[in-house]
Amino acid sequence: MNINNIKKINIYKKKILIRLDLNVPMNKNKITSYERINSSLKTIKFALKNKSKIIILSHLGRPTEGLFEKKYSLLPIVNYLKQKFPNVIIHFKKNINKKYKINYGEILIFENVRFNIGEKNNDKILSKKYASLCEVFIIDAFGTAHRKEASTYGVGIFSKISCAGFLFMSEIKSLKKCIKNPKLPLVTILGGSKISTKFNILKKLCKISDTVIVGGGIANTFLAIKNNIGKSIYEENFINLAKKLKKKYNIIIPIDSKVKQTNIKKIKYIIKKSSEIKNNEEIMDIGTQSIKKIKKIIKKAKTIIWNGPVGVFESKEFRNGTKKIAYAISNNKNSFSIAGGGDTLAVIEMFNIKNNISYISTGGGAFLEFIEGKKLPVIKMLKKKYIKK
């Protein structure tokens, strides 16, 4: 791929602007997963080694543009980075419009870019403002590559030199490995609540996979083709499309489910055949027979693509299916496994299987759109800025 990368661009004693994806899960202003931050450290360390003046931009959550909201502040992340780089001076500033002095080997982090008016609609003035901050722009936020925003796309267009960081390049390399020349059989696990948001990627994955295993609300829509699914989440408008896919491709749906009964004083959780669900029951997880079947398929896989849990894993009562599948993937030492998406990262951290997954993608939407074959705006920008050697 013809794009500039950080190793081939001279950043020694240069003023560089790095766009990172520090959009980590938070609970009461405390970080609950450090995966995305830790994945970004290699690029920061390389820039420090090159004695650069480092400016960092990132988003966090979905605040109202132009309005400061404490719960979306990058301050907890800045404090974590100070712990990781105790010997480095790290400045933290809110106002992007003021001039700040920064020395070589120091880091300046600006507050959440989504507080800035014009960020989301790729405002030209804001993009130029970002670009004026640096001599070299480095995009290392693959999770935002599908968004055409001021701090991801516009800044790259107006910067003199734009290149990809280590994480960004690693993401592209690993994703290509999965979709270009994968070792077979290729097994995909696709979870999530809505088939509508993942239908196009589901079609693409069906074409390249030997087997596609569906879970969550996506599986419920497939189950609804022939079964009553009670109060379970599903999308009626997609039943016919799901039916066509099921007929054409090898799609595995749950043969039994763990359901919640809701018309009794004391809520009960029972496992029953997916074909025997009653009106007062709601599917919350896959059942034991489904788990056994899926584990056998995963054991034989040579390439695994995993996006999303197969049940309501946030609750102890309904995480067994996701847990067993996660362990099955991590225990397959003969496969190349790639996992992506916010919930998937949370599952990996919950069950402590990070070291047994071949590659963990920090992207959610970008991860899926890349596999789907869409041309991501940030990659298009990098191609435009490519410098032929």
Active-site residue list? 36, 194, 342, 365
Measure the CA–CA gap between 4 and 7, rounded to whole angstroms: 9
Q: Which helix (H) or strand (E) holds 260?
A: strand 256-261
Helices (H), the chain: 35-49, 75-84, 124-131, 155-158, 166-179, 199-208, 216-223, 239-248, 288-300, 320-331, 342-350, 365-372, 377-384
Residue whose pair of structure tokens reads 């070589």 in the numeric block: 104
Residue 56 β-bridge partners: 18, 109
Strand bridging mode 303-307 / 186-190? parallel
The pair of three-digit structure tokens given for residue 189, joined into one six-digit string: 């696990």
Residue count of the chain, please give it: 389
Task: Look at residues 177, 176, 168, 180 and name the one whose alpha carbon lies nearest to residue 3.
Answer: 168
Cβ neighbours, 10 Å, residue 183 = 13
By the 8 A CB rule, do 279 and 228 touch? yes
By the 8 A CB rule, do 316 and 269 touch? no
Measure the CA–CA gap between 20 and 325, rounded to whole angstroms: 31
- Residue 75 Rama label (left phi>0; alpha psi -120 to 50; beta): alpha
Grouping H, G, I as helix, E, B as strand and the rest as coil, residue 357 is coil
By the 8 A CB rule, do 192 and 243 touch? no
Measure the CA–CA gap between 251 and 74, rounded to whole angstroms: 42
Residue type, 345: L
Task: Look at residues 212, 244, 232 and name the one whose alpha carbon lies nearest to residue 272.
Answer: 232
